[in-house]
Structure 1
Amino acid sequence: MGNQKLYKGSLQTIILKLLAKNEKMYGYEITQKVKELTKGELSITEGALYPALHKLEAEGFLDVEVAKVDNRLRKYYKLTKNGTKETVNRLAEMEEFLKTMQQIVNPKFSLE
């Protein structure tokens, strides 16, 4: 997709939404789920994903759980209570943003 830049500002919201739905996930799993849900239109690189995960963790929205899988340590990310609240807030903001963009891009179309 040529519009990867449009998704960049939404990456943290995407991560929060996935974790709200899936309880806990590891990094590669997140990238694959996004690819699956978007039918390959959105591909999240490790270089974008991990800084976003670390920022969300530093802000207190994610907890990290380390587990040994096939003799390797794997970091699982899950929402904290504050992360769950933040997810609700960011999804509401995203809904408003999408409505506003629809009014600009396609004034005759309404999401309601």
Structure 2
Amino acid sequence: MNNSQLYKGSLTTVILKLLEENGRMYGYEMTQKVKELTANEVTINEGALYPALHKLEADGLLTVEVVPAGNRMRKYYSITPKGQTETVNRLAELEEFMKHMQLLLHPKVSLG
């Protein structure tokens, strides 16, 4: 994702959510979907994406299917049941984090 540490910290959650919503996807397709959803404001670079995908696969959260695509092979990633559970947990954590950040950045005025 772009250089922000905030985005880098949420890359795996973004990947899991994309796969939850879109079914199986290949890496380049994920990068394009993120660009589309954010009006080109957020980009995922391959140097961050593929290590994250490999870790999610190693953790049992994704499966990989290799399919011929023209003259080459394309890896499609899909979310596992364990990955679906992890997605729910990570999204809940992220929502809680965003709620706390809103409270910190925009505290309500106390009428004390």
* Identity over aligned pairs, percent: 67
**When the two structures are superposed, what TM-score results if normalisation uses the length of structure 2?**
0.91
Q: How does 1:12-91 map to 2 (within 5 A)?
A: 12-91=12-91
Question: How far did residue 22 of structure 1 move?
Answer: 0.5
**Contact 1:65–1:75 at 8 Å: present in 2 too?**
yes
**Contact 1:4–1:42 at 8 Å: present in 2 too?**
no
**SS of residue matched to 2:64:** strand
Question: Which whole-Å CA distance do the structure 1 matches of 2:52 and 2:95 have between them?
Answer: 21
Question: How far did residue 107 of structure 1 move?
Answer: 2.0
Larger radius of gyration: 2
**When the two structures are superposed, what TM-score results if normalisation uses the length of structure 1?**
0.91
2:54 paired with 1:93: no
Question: Which whole-Å CA distance do the structure 1 matches of 2:2 and 2:25 have between them?
Answer: 27
Question: How far did residue 72 of structure 1 move?
Answer: 1.1
**How many residues are treated as equivalent by the alignment?**
108
CA-based RMSD: 1.5
Question: Which whole-Å CA distance do the structure 2 matches of 1:76 and 1:2 have between them?
Answer: 23
Question: How far did residue 4 of structure 1 move?
Answer: 2.4
Is there any run of 5+ residues in structure 2 with no aligned partner, and where? none
**SS of residue matched to 1:52:** helix
Letter in 2 for 1:19: L
**SS of residue matched to 1:73:** strand
Question: Which whole-Å CA distance do the structure 1 matches of 2:46 and 2:3 have between them?
Answer: 18
- The verdict on how the C-alpha distance between 1:105 and 1:42 changes in structure 2, with shifts beyond 3 A counting, is same
Question: Which whole-Å CA distance do the structure 2 matches of 1:104 and 1:2 have between them?
Answer: 24
